[in-house]
Amino acid sequence: MLRDVVHRTDPELAALLDLEDQRQRDKLRLIPSENYTSQAVLQTLSSALSNKYSEGYPGKRYYEGQQYIDAIEQLCIARAKSLFGAEHANVQPYSGSPANLAVYLAFCKPGDVIMGLGLPAGGHLTHGWNVSITGKYFTSVAYGVRKETGRVDLNEVEALAKKHTPKILFCGGTAVPRTIDFAGFAQIARSVGAVLVADIAHIAGLVAGGAHPSPVGHAEVITTTTHKTLRGPRGGMILCNANHAQALDRAVFPGLQGGPHNATVAALAVALKEAQSEDFRRYAHQIVRNSRALAEALLARGYDLVSGGTDNHLILIDLSNKEIPGKRAAQALDRAGIETNYNSVPFDPRKPFDPSGLRIGTPGMTSRGMTESEMPQVAAWIDRAIAAEKRGDAQQLSTIAAEVRELLLRFPAPGL
């Protein structure tokens, strides 16, 4: 019914929305930071909550008419705390990057030393990389991964931390295919008096579903997005120990933001309720099983995977031995109906906008109901598409895209 109104009001825009719906139905979406939300989440995002302004926090607002907004935000907070076992939750950040910025504002002053996984090694821009405000306003020290293993070496992290004594130590990242050792990072943070911040934007759904160890009890602060593996709306969230609650709340509002996006908060409440179910736990574990099966199938076809495989939802492929750059491969795969993103790999000799790697993942496929049995076919399509692109066979890419669409008819896209 809502789309019918858009068609009458703005046919041009509605046509584009319809095309995007069809694209999401017809493409094999392997970008690990993307997923499908439920119809309930999508409908909540389209509610009248977008009409309301709500600066402040429940019971402490600057606008009247907050009776139901307060109840919604309190429900969302309670569900977040319950699902993750956290002492405090702030559900107002507009995204993961603002959530991380709030951490800096709460604990640091300009020029203070911070530490995080370097972007080329799989870290996030907001963990102190030099093109981000976090690398410009603070003294950033980056740790990396071992060239021979593709994994973080905690001995290196400890040595850097003791040398530079950061105020904040970040663990987690945006292209990390292995389990994060939260306990090991916590021990290092304690030894130098740093606040350990676990960025679980990619793995929040896996943590919630018991498919990845939880940082709760190890990290004093946890930041995350609310989409990706958690299958919620596009937003952010901060979890923390009670003693940091006031500082972080003040950093979010009034430090960085005005009024929260109430429709997003409500949609997150829906997603958190869904994540409490046994179905979601099965889903989270299936993501990991699918990812491992896909990694094994790619390895069998001669693909070089960073760290040799995966423990979670994400696979990072180094295409150097296939003699095709990541950008060209990603664009060819898109024409073949397979959506990926080109990505730098550790020690990449190529530039970030034309890197050596591909980053893929299984959250979207798993949301559509695929299991390990489909993963060898996915790997075969990836291999065929890359080979076709190398020999300039555009027709083969179209053939693969048709095969992809045929398979996806058996696995309807949630919410669409």
Catalytically active residues, by annotation = 53, 55, 199, 225, 228, 234
> How many CB atoms sit inside 10 A of residue 396's CB?
18
Radius of gyration, alpha carbons of the chain = 22
Give the sign of the dihedral formed by CA 129, CA 356, CA 312, CA 388.
positive
CA distance 314 to 177: 5
CA distance 282 to 133: 39
CA distance 391 to 328: 13
368: Cα within 13 Å, side-chain hemisphere = 24
* Nearest by Cα to 85 from 313, 288, 278, 272: 272
Record the tokens describing residue 124, joined without a space: 């996030």
CA distance 331 to 110: 40
Rounded alpha-carbon distances, angstroms, from residue 369 to 38, 276, 364, 389, 411: 13, 19, 9, 29, 6
For the chain, how far is it from start to end, CA to CA, in angstroms? 13
Record the tokens describing residue 396, joined without a space: 């083969």
Q: What are phi and psi of 295, to 5 degrees?
A: -60, -45
Record the tokens describing residue 367, joined without a space: 């949301």
3 state SS of 170: strand
Task: Count helices and strands (H / E) in the chain.
Answer: 16, 15
> How many CB atoms sit inside 10 A of residue 1's CB?
4
Q: How far is CA 213 from the centre of its chain?
A: 16
CA distance 307 to 328: 23
β-bridge pairing 236-240 and 221-225 = antiparallel
